[in-house]
Amino acid sequence: MSPREPGTPGNTPATGIHGRAAALRALKDEIAQGPDEKSTAAQHAKGKLTARERIALLLDEGSFHEAEQLRRHRATGFGLEDKKPHTDGVITGWGTVHGRTVFVYAHDFRIFGGALGEAHAEKIHRIMDRAVAAGAPLVSLNDGAGARIQEGVTALAGYGGIFTRNARASGVIPQISVMLGPCAGGAAYSPALTDFVFMVRETSQMFITGPDVVQAVTGERVSLGGLGGADVHAEVSGVAHFAYDDEETCLEEVRYLLSLLPRNNRETPPAVPLEDPADRSCEALLDLVPADGNRPYDMRRVVEELVDDGEFLEIHERWAANVICALARLGGQVVGIVANQPLVQAGVLDIDASEKAARFVQMCDAFNIPLVTLVDVPGFLPGVAQEHNGIIRRGAKLLYAYCNATVPRISLILRKAYGGAYIVMDSRSVGADLSYAWPTNEIAVMGAEGAANVIFRRRIKAADDPDATRRQLVKEYQAELMHPYYAAERGLLDDVLDPADTRRVLVESLRMLRTKHADLAARKHGNPPQ
């Protein structure tokens, strides 16, 4: 029997496969356009892109595969039974970034204000599960009004499922949250559980309780931006790792970050062909870093001189600026850099700097990114506020992170390395694989003047000229215990380097450590200081 022709009984254009395929294409085109032109115009009027426009900027052109495009909620009551738009306010799927698979979900604010209901949550749960199963990064594009009030506790349960999956995926696949609109109440905890948070100025906010509630409870008057805007979270709270002026720049930087991360914890970050010579001499370092330990300099310029092509991505650039955390490449391979910043509080470690660096070290260790630590630290910040706010337990987070890390670890002491801060900044004694120093290094329990004042207190007090005696004893202490080869002579350094040779030595050392293997004791998990 020959196939029926279009238009014959049983295979009319309306009911046959050709007609149904055409109807499906029309339906999907309609869904892709969004609910209506008015809602799209309203989104653009706020300076915001639509969910699909955002996905198009994030992923490689033409690579997006949407999942559950036809999904609709099944809730009733409060008028929901009369309004059942496709996608239910969230677009989920996968595509590629620089040719590598990435999973994504994006709230569509044009539908229910991007609020989360049962079907909405189930779509997110499923794409999160697929990301873990496929071993690929997950990016969430957040622009939602929180839980869908009309669906009650069912919506809240949906958030519980997201939080559980965030926790289980932690350290397994990279999770990136991009805040492109409001994120209030319990919904804010999902971004907080992820590895990186991006925000856009003016249009994105995050807070647990809004300005109205804050004013009602505490009497404090504050704007949306002043309570939970991008600059607040990038500079004050430390919730946001990155803040940008517009969505296009923000999403381009997300793509750049993804290029520096592995797909999952079983892989290493992607390498690139080396164009910047591995043995390039860094003569500029001789002039960048003053030998006088009391003179400040910009550690970013040191990092720029050392890494491939001078390019690096700083994490939490504006929060706890006394320590630098950055991703870069050395010899074509991705590394994580932790460095004290002498331009800010002389590079001292405090509560925020310790927590910032600790989280970064843990992220690098989870995703097989070697660590290079650049040390120029005068100690921990003294003060009643620091002690009362828990510098002991919170500073210990950085110590715990380094001690627990099994990736290749190299430390380089440029100048000062005093007291407990020296130990915490990945010293040999806490497990650094290689420890180097420049001939300007000063490794000691404390600075020479402070040490002399303690050791020779009585002798200085009894002297005819206490100031002259103090200066002499300080010189003696420096010559005896703080000369640049003291630690190397006692096996606490692998070598003292000519600063110009630093890049070559680091690249060669990382190449040697690439096959490092380390096992931790069997345990369910550690109990890090909180």
pLDDT value, residue 324: 98
| pLDDT tens sequence across 115-172 | 888 889 999 999 999 999 999 999 999 998 788 878 888 888 899 999 999 999 999 9
Which residue from 501, 518, 525, 95 is spatially nearest to 278, judged by alpha carbons?
A: 501
> How many angstroms separate the CA atoms of 325 and 377, rounded?
15
Of 34, 37, 206, the C-alpha closest to 112 is: 34
Give yes or no: 186 in active site: yes
Banded pLDDT at 175 (limits 50, 70, 90): very high
Question: Average of pLDDT values for 49-60?
Answer: 96
Averaged pLDDT for residues 168-189: 94
> How far is 232 from 228, CA to CA, in rounded Å?
6
Instruction: Point out the catalytic residue in the list 421, 432, 444, 487.
Output: 421
| CA 400 to chain centroid | 18
Place of tokens 């620091």: 386
**Residue with more model confidence, 258 or 86:** 258
Helix (H) or strand (E) holding 17: helix 17-33
Mean pLDDT (whole number) for 392-398: 95
Q: Which residues contact 356 (CB under 8 A, 6 or more apart)?
A: 238, 316, 319, 320, 323, 325
185 is catalytic: yes
- 310-311-314-317 Cα dihedral, nearest 10 degrees: 60
Q: How far is CA 495 from CA 276, 371, 438, in A?
A: 24, 18, 9
Q: What is the pLDDT of residues 344-356, one digit of tens each?
A: 999 999 999 999 9
Dihedral over alpha carbons 197, 162, 57, 25 (to 10 degrees)? -170
Q: Specify which residues 103 forms β-bridges with.
A: 94, 138
CA 43, CA 127: separation in Å to the nearest integer?
25
The 10s digit of each residue's pLDDT in 188-209 is 999 999 999 999 999 999 999 8
pLDDT of 475 reads: 75
- Read off the pLDDT band of 2 (50, 70, 90): very low
Is 420 an active-site residue? yes
From the list 19, 135, 186, 238, the catalytic residue is: 186
The yes-or-no verdict on residue 315 having pLDDT over 90 is yes
Please state, in angstroms and rounded to a whole number, the distance separating the CA atoms of residues 302 and 121: 46
Q: What percent of the chain has pLDDT over 90?
A: 68
Average pLDDT of 436-450? 83
pTM for this prediction: 0.91
Which entry of 19, 135, 185, 210 is annotated as an active-site residue? Answer: 185
According to the model, what pLDDT value does residue 454 have? 72
Rounded to an integer, the average pLDDT of 245-267 is 97
pLDDT attached to residue 448: 63
Two tokens, residue 329: 């490449």
Q: Which residue of the set 135, 420, 431, 450 is catalytic? A: 420
